[in-house]
A and B are shown apart, each in its own frame.
Chain A
Amino acid sequence: MKNVELMVIGGGPAGLCAAIKAAELGVSVLLVERDRWLGGQLVKQTHMFFGSEKQHAATRGIDIAKLLIDKIEAMENIEVIKNATVLGIYEDGIITIEGEGKYQKIKPKAVIVATGASEKTLAFPKNDLPGIYGAGAVQTLMNVYGVKPGQRVLMVGAGNIGLIVTYQLMQAGVHVEAIIEGAPKIGGYLVHASKIRRMGVPIYTSYTVKEAEGENDLEEVTIWRLDEGWNPIPGTEIRLDVDVICVSVGLTPLSELLWQAGCKMQFVTALGGFVPIRDEEMQTSVKGIFVAGDVAGVEEASSAMVEGQLAGLSAASYLGYTVYNIKEIKQDLLHQLQALRSGPVGEKIRQGISEIIASKEVAAAAEGL
């Protein structure tokens, strides 16, 4: 049994920022990452980030990862375990992990869960044919391992991930036949969409996959148009000759550890699925368990990084650490989050978060870890 002060689960943008912030205040941190490297989704992001300088805007995700990892490595009070998966959070607060053939038990005084999100899947006939990928998998293949997923791609979903991965596929020399989007409008940033359009890739809004075809792997796909009630319109089928379908229909918080830990959860469509009830400082309904990033509600990495810092600060404070200007730091972080979410694109997020921010009474009634 390994005793630690603060355990941060997940070494993506939120987890890295959480670990750094808590360590800056003097907390001993154990950071556990499932992958063989830190950075989470950042390492696949070859595009420049939005936001402002404080969230490293105009820097590429992969370079932001480097900045954060360098900081982590320079801090003596952060221990990192890579290539290890958290298996369970148990009723007595003990956390089990497994990595490189070793099973271990960790006993932390506080936990920050920053496990991110997983990709949603889409139900259509033969959706299990080889050649049908999630967008994240395609991004990993290309940008981490340097492997092209195929020759001709249909991208399903015109959210930011769908648009960005389309662009990256084209950068890798892969032909993208089209992007289809079930909604009548493009969900991602329009500047991303414009980038794709001027490369000659069509975007079909109000279209979805009817079915995939193929013997042993994907050979072609049929798409069809949806009416205003999202019902497919017979006769509008278009058959596309592709060997890859890249499904990018959104993310959902990877929250199973929070369920295991007994955190109160709520389904909020705007945040991608079941998310924990939490207070403004990122503490869940279970005392000592904090959240940050997509697991607390799917959003951009910029907000994940700020939430990470906020959770790190709150966990440090919970553990009895402080700094002379802790109030100002907290206010600044809250202000950054507010700014990132204040525009029309953040409206859904703001609404969603207002549904899960626990009242003072709920927080007071929170159970002990």
Chain B
Amino acid sequence: MIKTAEVVIIGGGISGSSIAYNLAKKGVKNIVLLEKAYLSSGATGRCGAGIRQQWGTEMNCRIAKLSCDFFERANEELDYEEDIEFKQEGYLLLSSTDKEHQQFIKNVELQNSLGIPSKLLTLEEAKEIVPFLNTEGLVSATYCEKDGHLNPFHATQAYANAAERLGVKIYKFTEVTGILIEQGKIRGVKTTKGNIATNIVVNAAGGYAQLIGKMVKLDLPLYSERHQILVTEPMETILKPMVMSFSLNMYCQQVPHGGVIMGRGDENEPRDFRITSSWQFLDEMTTTVTKLLPPLKNARLLRQWGGLYNMTPDRQPIYGAVDEIEGFYLAVGYSGHGLMFGPATGLLMAEIILQEECTIPIDMLHLNRFRKGELIFEPSVV
């Protein structure tokens, strides 16, 4: 294994791979990416893989749009020989209360002002997109046809391959066991396959980011929460867009392969590193989805699995340097949106590390916001 590096990135998910690629593209040499298992083995490969731009704050809208635009041209830009399978079949968001409806109106206005082609829909219009939608208890919907989903394994691999072509060294099955600091400065990382001397470490460890933080005695305001998903056997295409409801706390989408993927948030989920499955999830998920989308009663459950949301108190990511440790950077705490923010994460983190001006102003996403009590409110999260 290599002995010294300019930058060591910890985590081989979409974020780490994207950061590696963007740094290399900007000319940084000697970049090392460390992954304790295989690429996209963590949250990236376990998520619902939705890509949406319909957010409620300007910053999130811009991050999401930048990312979505990139995914549209990712196969070409990353020169990927296969396909990241980005399909833009839209996101249909449902509101269940008048308060939510009012928020949707504001959101669409904001999104449109930023060039995101979302629309506010009546329930009748929503039924034109999903004819079997049970609108009982719903108020309105918004729809953005440019939203969609992709194959997270291929997306990560596309970044990784492109990064490797630019000289990035990727070590799979290599776990970081410690971080070396001298006088408040990063000096290297210890791994299961040897030590690497470096002055810059990027923590992009997803669900395990707080553990990396502990290695530099940093108590990051993060916790990992299990989220679960199920997939059905492939069936005839009946559902084009991702259907999502914040009130019902669920999302559901049929992927090109024909299987229907669905997941939900649950405050009772364990906040440890468990990624096992629970029968309670099946009970709750099937009850909700068969009420909202009745034909899915006949879809056959194939498999369920769990993954980790890396949560922050305001459910917004933490981007940036850490004041007290020179050379230690954070790209953590996506709270469930790491994949869809992946391209922006890579670009913005590269800009931060190289001290360039950020394409999107993201100062407020710095770790210090929690120290100052300046939390961000995003109304549109499952």
Contacts and interface: CB of A to CB of B under 8 A. Distances in A.
Nearest to A98: B301
Nearest to B279: A90
A88 interface: yes
Interface string B274-307: 1011110010000000000000000000000000
A94 B283 CA distance: 13
A91 B270 CA distance: 12
Tell me if A's interface is mostly helix, strand, loop or mixed.
loop
Interface string A251-285: 00000000010100000000000000000000000
Interface string A71-93: 00000000000000000101110
Contacts of A91: 274, 276-278
A96 interface: yes
A192 interface: no
A131 to B, nearest CB: 26
Interface string A88-123: 101110101000000001000000000000000000
Residue among B274, B277, B279 having the largest count of chain A Cβ atoms under 10 Å: B279
A260 B282 CA distance: 16
B278 to A, nearest CB: 6
Contacts of A105: 279
Q: Is the interface of B mostly helix, strand, loop or mixed?
A: loop
Nearest to B304: A88
Nearest to B270: A91
A89 to B, nearest CB: 10
B282 to A, nearest CB: 8
A88 B305 CA distance: 12
A95 to B, nearest CB: 9
A183 B291 CA distance: 57
A92 B268 CA distance: 15
A240 to B, nearest CB: 36
Contacts of A260: 277
A336 to B, nearest CB: 38
Nearest to A105: B279
B296 to A, nearest CB: 16
Contacts of A94: 279
A88 B279 CA distance: 8
A260 B276 CA distance: 9
Contacts of A92: 278
A90 B282 CA distance: 11
A58 B139 CA distance: 73
A90 B277 CA distance: 7
A30 B277 CA distance: 24
B308 to A, nearest CB: 15
Contacts of B276: 90-91, 262
A197 B344 CA distance: 71
B301 to A, nearest CB: 9
Contacts of B279: 88, 90, 94, 96, 105
Contacts of B277: 88, 90-91, 260
A90 B276 CA distance: 8
A118 B380 CA distance: 47
Interface string B102-124: 00000000000000000000000
Interface in A217-274: 260, 262
A90 B274 CA distance: 13
B307 to A, nearest CB: 15
A111 to B, nearest CB: 15
B46 to A, nearest CB: 17
A262 B276 CA distance: 10
A114 B284 CA distance: 30
Contacts of B274: 91
B338 to A, nearest CB: 25
Contacts of B282: 96
Nearest to A260: B277
Contacts of B278: 90-92
A76 B337 CA distance: 55
Nearest to A90: B279
Interface string A287-307: 000000000000000000000
A359 to B, nearest CB: 26
A214 B279 CA distance: 45
Contacts of A90: 276-279
A153 B351 CA distance: 68
A160 B274 CA distance: 43
Nearest to B283: A105
Interface of A: 88, 90-92, 94, 96, 105, 260, 262
Given A90-B276, A96-B282, 7 more contacts: A88-B277, A88-B279, A91-B274, A92-B278, A96-B279, A260-B277, A262-B276
| 8 A-B pairs with the lowest CB-CB distances in the bound complex, closest first | A91-B276, A90-B279, A96-B279, A94-B279, A90-B278, A105-B279, A91-B278, A90-B277
17 contacts: A88-B277, A88-B279, A90-B276, A90-B277, A90-B278, A90-B279, A91-B274, A91-B276, A91-B277, A91-B278, A92-B278, A94-B279, A96-B279, A96-B282, A105-B279, A260-B277, A262-B276
